[in-house]
Structure 1
Amino acid sequence: MNKKNHGAGFAVCFSIASAWFGTHCGSGFATGAQGVSFWTSYGAYALFLPVISVAVMAVVAYIQWEFCRQNKTYDYRSYANRLFSPYDKVFATIYEILFIAIMVMGVSSVFAGAGQLISQMFGLPYVPSVIAVMALVVVLNMFGTRLLVASSSILSVILIAVIVIIAFLCIGKNGGHFAEVVSTWQTEGSLGGAILSGILYGSFQCIILGATTNLSEDIATSEDSKLSAVLGLVMNGAMMVLLTYMLLCYYPSINAEQLPVLAAVSELGIPALETGYSIMVFLAFMTTAITCIGAILKRVEGFGADKISNITARRALYSAVLILICFGIAQFGLLNIVKKGYTAVGYLGIPFVIIPTLIIGTKKIKQGLKGEK
């Protein structure tokens, strides 16, 4: 019997879920900025908001991976073209614009977050710190890309381990305040607004899921798609809940911090842990910047070939324009980028990514499964 009649196995599904986990729980997540923007800003409602977010993400992940398996579409544009066919020229283009917008937000967040980190660690003004980060990213993009990308998996594992240690220490030290927030049900905003915020987080993350379409190449059956999504739900969900509960231990003051996790670590009074966390987050920031810039350039470097024939020159030009745009966005600060930028893209993601995936994607994979019987 051929491979298609057999599951790929638990190990393959676990590796796919782990890759998704690494993509999601990167530098932006590890700062806590996303957590306070979408979850803990609503107080005790944050107890269940990460569950809503990860449920949305997991359902879309399953449909996307299964669709890609059936249609052999192993990059996000091919996936979008097939999903939205015969209206792909319009809707696949919108999908791609949203994907690029998220990548731009990612680079801008790196400039803002890493700049804020340098500013706090060394007491430097914010803008010069951002300029220093921008210069470093340019240098790394020219000479250090392979090293950073090659080490990204190891960096992610270490960073997550550090976050877990920090979370347990913070909860252990300030768990009493967490209990008080929950027992007295201290909330901000409405329940409906809180639920919408949880959905919006899942929405912009579903756009980023487009970067995982290549993982479906190792999926052999529909059951593999389901298992990969379930494992990813458990791994991501556990980390999201842990981080949120840690942040609630410092509610509401933590919501005003540009780097919430660093603020929590500082209160622990463990200099070595604070330094280790800062170094790991900074390295993760650099990896995120290189990855996002590379993803954007891959999509735009073909434009203008008739006027600038040298691809290296085109890449240099587009890189410069991109970095300047991201530098400008970074001036709004990390929390504003997350709250306003990611939220805006999240709103657009609901009608242009989530709903089409749930309706069109589900319909087409059901048709595909019937054809496999």
Structure 2
Amino acid sequence: MKKVVPGYLAIALVWFSSHFGGGFASGRQIVAFYLNHNWTSIFMPAVSMLVMGISMYYAMVIANKFKTYDYSNWSKKVYGGIGFFAVPIYEVLVNAILLLATSVAFATGGTILSKIFGTSYMLNTFGIAAVIFVFTIYGSELVRKSAAVVSVMLIISMFLIYLPNIIHYFPNIVKNMTAIKSGEIAFKGPDSFWDALWWGVKYGTLHCAAIGAYIVHAQVCPEKKCLKKAIGTGIFINCVIMYLTYFGILAFVDQGILKEAVPALFVVMHGVGSSWMTTLISVCIVVGAVSTGVALVFGTTNRLVTFMGRNLDEKEKARRQRFHAMISSTILVVACWCVAQFGLIPLIGKGYGSMGWVTMVLITIPLILRGIGLWKYKEDAEKKEAGVA
């Protein structure tokens, strides 16, 4: 990684590409966690990324300190003496997030196809499930290699879509923000700074559930100075794209965009360049959703394949690998398809919202307490005596 880009930038880009999924690309996460709340939500994307950045920094410091770069052994170092019950709960949480995130990918693609072609949402998600299943079995390597290209496509698309609209509709953005502050545009739920702050923190803690997948990259930044630079760069990149989306959607708040399942599609259909941007954003979101779904399903499939072949010798395990992969993928894809039938808005608003506070208690708070030194255990003292930083 260092030969292509500096280590700190590599970590920042891994963070961004993982954060930038179908729910983010659709704009629905920005609405659910920010624009559906008090006007002070304008500050909350920065708060969210700061919460996640601090957590990730301490997670990587712990990974480097104990040389544990897989999330199973890493979690044992995080929880110490309470690991006997905290580690299994953490495993359950990680897999629940994988299920929910893949379901959001299904729902995002299904909703987009319904908007474009008018076809049944259920039929669309079934088609996406079939594509993800096939790629998981036969083409997962190709899809993973193209993940960087897909991410670049989505980033470029966000700039093409939102920046011209922000510039063109800037007076409307100011007008809508003024209306929200005065109460002229009201929300159904609580409308206070504390509500906005709560949802901002929950967004940051929600994405901390994926920290276990990031820690392997801590190896390219063994020094704390490098890690701080990586986290600072990551916060900046993520905030820029989040604020592009925030202000782009804010321009259309008075037109009912907050009720749309895919706000990004509403922006391109009613904003600048709608004649060609609609196709662009639709293709990018669907491709991004499928790519995300394949990566997540494939990763979990490997865990199940290993479990199914645990009592077989190497020859028999290799012979049955494809069969076990098909069974595992079928189970996972069907489970995600079923969850996706709840729809995109409930999955992100309720599902992600609930996961946010669970992750806060189980991951974010322990990480910060460990990082600032308020929670120590015997192994920390042993490492200190051995001269480990």
Decide: shared fold, TM above 0.5: yes
The alpha-carbon deviation at position 306 of structure 1 amounts to 6.4
Please show how residues 137-176 of structure 1 align to structure 2 within 5 Å: 137-176=132-171
Please name the residue that 1:107 is paired with. Answer: 102
Which deviates the most, 196-205 or 129-138?
129-138
Please name the residue that 1:42 is paired with. Answer: 37
Residues 40 and 46, structure 1, Cα contact 8 Å, conserved in 2: yes
Distance 1:131 1:349, change over 3 A: same
2:69 is aligned, of 60, 67, 74, to 74
Post-superposition CA distance 1:223-273 (Å, at most 9, x none): 111111111111111211221111111115221111110111111253222
Please name the residue that 1:236 is paired with. Answer: 238
Please name the residue that 1:24 is paired with. Answer: 19
Residue 337 of structure 1 pairs with residue 347 of structure 2: yes
Please show how residues 258-269 of structure 1 align to structure 2 within 5 Å: 258-268=261-271, 269=273
Distance (whole Å) between structure 2 residues aligned to residue 229 and residue 221 of structure 1: 13
Please name the residue that 1:4 is paired with. Answer: none
Residues 103 and 295, structure 1, Cα contact 8 Å, conserved in 2: no
Query: Identical aligned pairs, as a percentage?
Result: 25
**SS of residue in 1 equivalent to 2:307:** coil
Please name the residue that 1:313 is paired with. Answer: 323
Please show how residues 182-201 of structure 1 align to structure 2 within 5 Å: 182-184=177-179, 185=181, 186=183, 188=187, 189-201=191-203
Distance (whole Å) between structure 2 residues aligned to residue 77 and residue 254 of structure 1: 42
Please show how residues 275-290 of structure 1 align to structure 2 within 5 Å: 275-290=279-294
Which deviates the most, 273-282 or 359-368?
359-368
The alpha-carbon deviation at position 10 of structure 1 amounts to 8.3
Residue 301 of structure 1 pairs with residue 296 of structure 2: no
The alpha-carbon deviation at position 54 of structure 1 amounts to 0.7
**SS of residue in 2 equivalent to 1:65:** helix
Which deviates the most, 184-193 or 251-260?
184-193
The alpha-carbon deviation at position 118 of structure 1 amounts to 1.0
Please name the residue that 1:273 is paired with. Answer: 277
Please name the residue that 1:211 is paired with. Answer: 213
Residue type matched to 1:348 in 2?
V
Distance (whole Å) between structure 2 residues aligned to residue 207 and residue 101 of structure 1: 10
Residue 92 of structure 1 pairs with residue 94 of structure 2: no
Please name the residue that 1:3 is paired with. Answer: none
Please name the residue that 1:359 is paired with. Answer: 369
Residue 254 of structure 1 pairs with residue 254 of structure 2: no
Distance 1:276 1:9, change over 3 A: closer
Distance 1:181 1:366, change over 3 A: farther
The alpha-carbon deviation at position 299 of structure 1 amounts to 3.1
1:222 is aligned, of 203, 217, 224, to 224
Q: TM-score, normalised by structure 2?
A: 0.88
Distance (whole Å) between structure 1 residues aligned to residue 92 and residue 82 of structure 2: 16
The alpha-carbon deviation at position 50 of structure 1 amounts to 0.6
Residue type matched to 1:190 in 2?
S
Distance (whole Å) between structure 2 residues aligned to residue 88 and residue 295 of structure 1: 24
Residues 112 and 334, structure 1, Cα contact 8 Å, conserved in 2: yes
The alpha-carbon deviation at position 335 of structure 1 amounts to 1.2
The alpha-carbon deviation at position 307 of structure 1 amounts to 8.0
Residues 247 and 261, structure 1, Cα contact 8 Å, conserved in 2: yes
Distance 1:255 1:366, change over 3 A: farther
Q: TM-score, normalised by structure 1?
A: 0.92
Residues 137 and 289, structure 1, Cα contact 8 Å, conserved in 2: yes
Residue type matched to 2:217 in 1?
L
> Root-mean-square deviation (CA), in Å?
2.3
Distance (whole Å) between structure 2 residues aligned to residue 354 and residue 8 of structure 1: 32
Distance 1:262 1:37, change over 3 A: same
Distance 1:89 1:295, change over 3 A: farther
Residue type matched to 2:355 in 1?
V
**SS of residue in 1 equivalent to 2:222:** coil
**SS of residue in 1 equivalent to 2:81:** coil
Number of residue pairs the alignment of both structures matches: 367
Please name the residue that 2:204 is paired with. Answer: 202
Which deviates the most, 133-142 or 357-366?
357-366
Residues 41 and 197, structure 2, Cα contact 8 Å, conserved in 1: no
Distance (whole Å) between structure 2 residues aligned to residue 75 and residue 362 of structure 1: 22
Post-superposition CA distance 1:92-115 (Å, at most 9, x none): 121121111111111111111101
Distance (whole Å) between structure 1 residues aligned to residue 281 and residue 384 of structure 2: 46
Distance (whole Å) between structure 1 residues aligned to residue 309 and residue 380 of structure 2: 41
Which deviates the most, 294-303 or 163-172?
294-303
Residues 109 and 330, structure 1, Cα contact 8 Å, conserved in 2: yes
Distance (whole Å) between structure 2 residues aligned to residue 196 and residue 299 of structure 1: 34
Post-superposition CA distance 1:296-346 (Å, at most 9, x none): 223333334468963433332222121111111111111110111111111
Residues 8 and 219, structure 1, Cα contact 8 Å, conserved in 2: no
Unaligned runs of 5+ in 1: 1-6
The alpha-carbon deviation at position 135 of structure 1 amounts to 1.1
